[in-house]
A and B are shown apart, each in its own frame.
Chain A
Amino acid sequence: AQSVTQLDSQVPVFEEAPVELRCNYSSSVSVYLFWYVQYPNQGLQLLLKYLSGSTLVESINGFEAEFNKSQTSFHLRKPSVHISDTAEYFCAVSELGRSNDYKLSFGAGTTVTVRA
């Protein structure tokens, strides 16, 4: 079974400053990795994903994440945050369940609060 560890539960950051959210997973097999974002009182939205190929993946709103197989990490970064990036961010790994189909396992989440 997979496990996902998000090392920071709360990350306060000033507007226009960079931010990094750390995510580590445990696995001995190939994985698919995801970052989801949850704005207040909303459901989860996919931010970006790593399936294969280039280890650096980007989202349309300036976030990027790098898959590091040797360190089993998938950290999320943004060089300059906006107030609107205030949200909760979840790292997730896709794993095969008992029914031989994929399901997502999530980390506990990191709350990002952007201040002016």
Chain B
Amino acid sequence: DTGVSQDPRHKITKRGQNVTFRCDPISEHNRLYWYRQTLGQGPEFLTYFQNEAQLEKSRLLSDRFSAERPKGSFSTLEIQRTEQGDSAMYLCASRRKGGSKVTGELFFGEGSRLTVL
């Protein structure tokens, strides 16, 4: 399988605990994105990386959220001191840089669903 993979698929945690999600992008893709999707809403942009550099962060990404991509391959998204409002699907996506059409088309993983009790 050469698609975007995310782990874990489901996570249930108690309020105040820390959680970490992992994303493995398509191997030749150097851009990696994190989105959050809450019930009844479309995905909302959180942050993205070009190789290991984090180039942009949304205002949605509070100080309790941190994302890394240390070697420019897989990425982790950590949420500290989780709150019930953090319950959502966290989606990872990737794409190649450049090419003949720089359009922003993304390839998504199946997501990591977080439930905070």
A residues in contact with B43, CB < 8 Å: 44, 90, 104, 106
For residue A42, which residue of chain B has the nearest CB?
Answer: B110
Cβ–Cβ contact A108 & B40, under 8 A: yes
Q: A90-B42, A90-B43 are known contacts. Are A101 and B91 too (CB-CB below 8 A)?
A: no
Do B105 and A94 have beta carbons less than 8 Å apart? yes
Say whether B56 contacts A34, CB under 8 Å: no
Mark interface residues in B73-86 (1 if CB within 8 Å of A CB, else 0). Answer: 00000000000000
- A interface, size bucket: 20 to 34
CB neighbours of B40 from chain A (8 A):
9, 108-109
| In the complex, B21 has a CB within 8 A of chain A | no
Q: How many A-B residue pairs have CB under 8 A?
A: 71
Contacts of A92 in B (CB 8 A): 42
Q: Chain A interface mostly helix, strand, loop or mixed?
A: strand
Give the contacting residue for A101; candidates B4, B50, B107, B111; CB below 8 A: B50
Beyond the given pairs A44-B108, A97-B48, 4 more chain A to chain B contacts, judged by CB atoms under 8 angstroms and listed by A's residue number, are: A95-B104, A99-B50, A99-B55, A105-B45
What are the 7 A-B residue pairs with the smallest beta carbon separation, nearest first? A102-B104, A94-B104, A106-B42, A43-B110, A99-B55, A44-B108, A43-B108
Chain A positions within 8 Å of B, measured between CB atoms, are 4, 6, 9, 32, 34, 36, 41-46, 49, 51, 90, 92, 94-95, 97-99, 101-109
